[in-house]
Chains A and B, each alone.
Chain A
Amino acid sequence: MFFKNALKYTMVAATLIVAASSCEVDPPIVEELPADNIRLIVPPGWPYPNYDFTGNPLTKEGFVLGRKLFYDPQLSRDNTVSCGSCHQQFAAFSHLDHVVSHGIYGLLGTRNAPGLFNLNWQTSFMWDGGVNHIEVQPTAPITNPVEMDESIANVVTKIQNDPSYTAMFKDAFGTETVTSQLIFRAITQFQGMLVSYNSKYDKYSRGEIILTASEQNGLNLFMDKCNSCHTAPLFTNMAFMNNGLDSVFADAGRGKITLLAADSGTFKVPSLRNVNLTRPYMHDGRFSSLNQVMDHYSSGVVNSSTISPGVVGGIPLTSTEKADLIAFLKTLSDTEFITDPRFNDPFAP
């Protein structure tokens, strides 16, 4: 009931938003179906996603299979680490309070596990953009020696030999023969359904609520000082930027992929949706609070050869401005998303 009402309001607000927004490309009309269903979601006013399940038709059965695989530790070599181990729903599918995540045998990774949502809009994946398609993204953590350290071939064998999957593959794809392609398509159906668009900010945008004075001031500051990179409504411009963390790069980031000096020390601009739920921050998780992030941009930016022009010299903020910005950033938390039962761990008791 709650969802149905919310959707009605969404549709009403959608009309308002579409009418109000002028600079966005007109999104195609997507029929709103009941919230408990599985469908391509394109929130009103958002650009059309980069991935829309073409070639991988979205079904409830495919989604449910993908959800089980997402939470299945058999995807790791010693069957201890699942995707969900480091991407927790209550933390908007990031790894709360983990600077970097631990893989099998407690091995530590080198980068902070990002939140997972609105992935259909991403044009590349991982902090360095090394993965070029949502369907092959799982190959990276599965085969990374400090994450799940498993071969794709072994994953296929384990899933094929697990009788609890037999009927699920049949239902989802019409075959009991497991292939990596079907595994990845199913996981993509789950991950592509992780759309976060019901934060307080979204409700404000739809005209359903108003912001507090502090939040509103934070929004104004954000649009003035942050939106050029953390561009609404996705709150990222998908680009790779150096935001002035270091003068010498311990991690070349995007430069590792392109081998270009100009990309050294740059990383994918992360979405700021759910940012208050996804601490710590930065590619290496060096900041544990939004206060530290504000301090960095205000007075901690250091120069380097590839620094983004937008942060050169920092973005000076008063203490009131920092507080207002943080108040605004907290309106990007999507409680409905992190409690949506569709995304729960099916292995949980």
Chain B
Amino acid sequence: MKNSIKILSALFLIGAVSLSSCKKDPDEEPTPTPTPAATTGSLALHFENMVGDSALVFNTQSYVTANSDSFTVSTFKYYISNIVLTKSGGGTYTESESYHLIDASDLATGEITLTNVPLGDYTGISFMIGVDSLRNVSGAQTGALDPANGMFWSWSSGYIMMKFEGNSPQSTAAANALLFHVGGFSGANNTLKTVSPSFGVDVASVTTSVTPEIHLKTDILELFTTPTNVDFSTLNTIHMPGANAKTIADNYADMFTVEHIHN
């Protein structure tokens, strides 16, 4: 009896190890045999975090919202997930395990390379701002979704989809602080946004030799306008799901613009 348990435990372990090896990043998978010719390549996304037309400078640079409130930025982080590329002439590429946390203070996090992308011309992209509802209810996660990243509400389980912090003289909060922690994945409090910033007439051509690079601008000003102009004297603190979080999420749904594509 005891032996059979040992064997069972061993089998469990082997199972766990082999399961985890399935979850590794696609780029860690063995390279396919070179012949016949490779059928996939890579595509890079480059997110540039800006405030209107200005570069994002933390803390020292002051900006002005559509409501004419001035503000500074100390933190700006957001999740991008479930990236899908649309191929010219039909078909899509869906990134596996597609969860990315972009932290504006760490430029490397704005560089996302999609691998194992079938060769061809791509004319569109869509992704979710935030973490899909399933992963919000699936227990302990790792990588970009590790709660150690500080983007997880422990008292009311769920990911913070977007975190903006800063200051504004118009803010009535203590120390003129701005704190917008936006999340909520279900029912009336759902803040998830799936967006498809347009390529225009541009095409991203994935070939065996060229990794096209799509440059996207993320505009912080859009957090505070269209459709709702945010007045920092009345809305300056959000730290839970609810109507205010939805307001900001509705606003930031249009914060991404495809600037240009390098081929």
Q: Residues of A at under 8 Å CB distance from B?
A: 33-34, 37, 55-61, 126, 130-136, 139-140, 142-144, 151-153, 156, 173-174, 179-181, 184-185, 188, 256-257, 259
Residues in chain B near residue A174, CB distance under 8 A: 13, 16-17, 20
Residues in chain A near residue B13, CB distance under 8 A: 57, 59, 174
Residues in chain B near residue A153, CB distance under 8 A: 148-150
* Contact of B5 (CB < 8 Å), options: A33, A133, A256: A33
Instruction: Contacts A152-B148, A181-B146 known; list 14 others, CB within 8 Å.
Output: A59-B9, A61-B9, A130-B157, A131-B156, A139-B154, A144-B155, A152-B146, A174-B16, A174-B20, A179-B148, A180-B148, A184-B139, A184-B140, A259-B189
Q: How far is the CB of A131 from chain B (nearest CB, A)?
A: 5
Contact (Cβ within 8 A) A58 B12: yes
* Nearest opposing residue in chain A for B11, CB measure: A57
Residues in chain A near residue B40, CB distance under 8 A: none
Chain B, range 124-144, C-beta contacts under 8 Å to A? 136-142
**Residue B227 lies at the interface, judged by CB distance under 8 Å to chain A:** no
Contact (Cβ within 8 A) A257 B156: yes
* Contact of B141 (CB < 8 Å), options: A37, A56, A57, A181: A181
Interface size on B, residues (CB 8 A): 32
- Given A139-B147, A173-B16, A180-B148, do A55 and B155 touch, yes or no (CB 8 Å)? no
* Nearest opposing residue in chain A for B243, CB measure: A259
**Cα of A34 to Cα of B6 in the assembled complex, Å:** 13
Residues in chain A near residue B9, CB distance under 8 A: 59-61
Contact (Cβ within 8 A) B12 A152: no
Residues in chain A near residue B166, CB distance under 8 A: none
Residues in chain B near residue A133, CB distance under 8 A: 137-140, 157
Residues in chain A near residue B1, CB distance under 8 A: 33-34
Q: How far is the CB of A150 from chain B (nearest CB, A)?
A: 11
**Residue B169 lies at the interface, judged by CB distance under 8 Å to chain A:** no
**Cα of A181 to Cα of B140 in the assembled complex, Å:** 5
Q: How far is the CB of B150 from chain A (nearest CB, A)?
A: 7
* Nearest opposing residue in chain A for B17, CB measure: A174
**Cα of A173 to Cα of B16 in the assembled complex, Å:** 8
Q: How far is the CB of B148 from chain A (nearest CB, A)?
A: 4
Q: How far is the CB of A153 from chain B (nearest CB, A)?
A: 4
